Structure 1
Amino acid sequence: MLTAQGLDLQFGTNVLGHLFFTELLLPALTKSSEHNKVPARVINTSSRMHTSLSAPLSGVDLVTVKGGPERDLWVKKAGKLGAPLGLYGQSKFIIISVSNYWAKRYPDVLVSCAVNPGGSKSDIARHQPRWKQRIVNFNQYPTPCI
């Protein structure tokens, strides 16, 4: 699936959403850090699925980020199971990198980290067949309500 801008939906949601939201909050986070004399905290949600691809060894396959014939070929080659898992894992690898970027770019202003919340039941598999939803949710914990 693609965003309205033609980018991979998981990349748009898991990476660009986090990135732009933090960017918009940066003035307030900086002000808070200066006022409290303590760095603000940015916690990005990642996943252990970032280990399910070869990105740490070979880098991110940028062909997958923007819709088009090259991406379509990649998706076809990766297959019905491999493509969604690969795209998800890749987006989670990138958000770890983005989180590390914020930490290095603003060390006196931000404590930035990416965390794996563990197996939380969510609607992440809502577009998958029912049998896949059951597999995804088999060993998951209810998503906490705050």
Structure 2
Amino acid sequence: MSVKFDDISVGEELPPADVTVTRADLIRYAGASGDFNVIHWNERVATSVGLPGVIAHGMYTMALGGQYVSEWAGDAGAVVEYGTRFTNLVPVPDDEAGATITYSGKITKTDEAARTVTLTLTALHGGQKVLGKAIAVVRLP
């Protein structure tokens, strides 16, 4: 999808998207990021430190949010700013179904001179927010 600045307005909501995260995704992310912390792949260690099980990397859940925004904009280079806080864990079961994170967003500000929009993102897993204060600024044609 390619969105144009003149076609959007404050308050407009982005279509939600469900993203499935599996243990295999966590392994691939660990390899790409270099984050091999055992809580992201070893159930025994994760539960021994009080976690509900293996959890997704926070930066991976953030990256998936960035991908969601990039796909909405139609251009990864259009995302000029993106930040968030991590608010909840995403336990990833050891099965084929994995964990589902639902991303959505809302346009909260436009800047006509810069041709940018500010989006507030929501990322939910099991009805709980996993990203807080997730805000992206996107430059649109």
- Normalising to structure 1: TM-score of the pair? 0.27
- Higher share of residues assigned helix: 1
Structure (1 or 2) with the greater strand fraction: 2
TM-score, normalised with respect to structure 2:
0.28
